[in-house]
Amino acid sequence: MILLVDIGNTSTKLALYNLRNNKIIKPISLITHSKKTLSFIKFYLKKNNIRLIFSTSVVPKIFKIIKSFTSKQNIKLYEFKDKKITKSIKINVKKKSQVGSDRIVNSVGALSCYNKNCIIIDFGTTTTFDIVQKNNIYQGGVIAPGIELALKALNRFTAKLPLVKITKQKNVIGKDTIAAIKSGVFIGYTCLIDGIIDKIQKQSKKKYLIILTGGYSKLFKKSLKYKTIVNQDITLYGLVKTIKQNREIFDEF
């Protein structure tokens, strides 16, 4: 059994993967920056007798702690960004090292699931757009502030604006401060997403399958003008695809 680990800025996802029957088992989401999370991961490794972890991480500090623990427990740990492993996709950007491994593994997952030109929109700490073509070329992306980041910034950097929880909005014009904030964020991000997709398709002269993942995917799905697919496990599918392409490394597990 292999443990898949996706360490994001806000949340961390764990899932067991059985290479023999190609099954992903029991995905679990945890808060990344929590002492309980690290304790749970240690417990989870022992409980399931895990001897190998395959991880993608954008939080070096947390990954380093896990790496230290696993080395003491004789647990093998592979990271997605290892050049020996990530052979399936060409990264067509100026500085490859600056692209988060989560964004590349999402692209691998999208191609594995759908085999089409894709735009993957990930609602995380940042809202990212990643563009990948079905001929296995990652073309780059777009990074915008995440929704929670925007809401917290409005509260933190103003004297009177409250911290609100985003909900779906029909009316653009808010009749009070809370409604105005909700409109600005929900409708504002709806326009941002639609507008960026418009620009990508116009400039690239291609049509794309739109995949939503991350915390606010379902909230936005029916409000966008484009038909979309919600896939909350796209990162895990990317890790699985990479495992299959490197069976010589993972087969014994």
CA distance 174 to 195: 22
HSE of 145, CA atoms in CB hemisphere, 13 A:
11
Closest CA relative to residue 31, chosen from 167, 215, 235: 215
Cβ atoms of residues 230 and 218 within 8 Å: yes
The residue written with tokens 């088992």 in the block is 25
CA distance 188 to 172: 9
Catalytic residue among 6, 102, 122, 130: 102
CA distance 239 to 120: 16
Eight-class DSSP state of 9 = S
Could you give phi then psi for residue 156, rounded to 5 degrees?
-75, -40
The residue written with tokens 């929900």 in the block is 186
102 assigned to active site: yes
Catalytic sites, residue numbers: 102
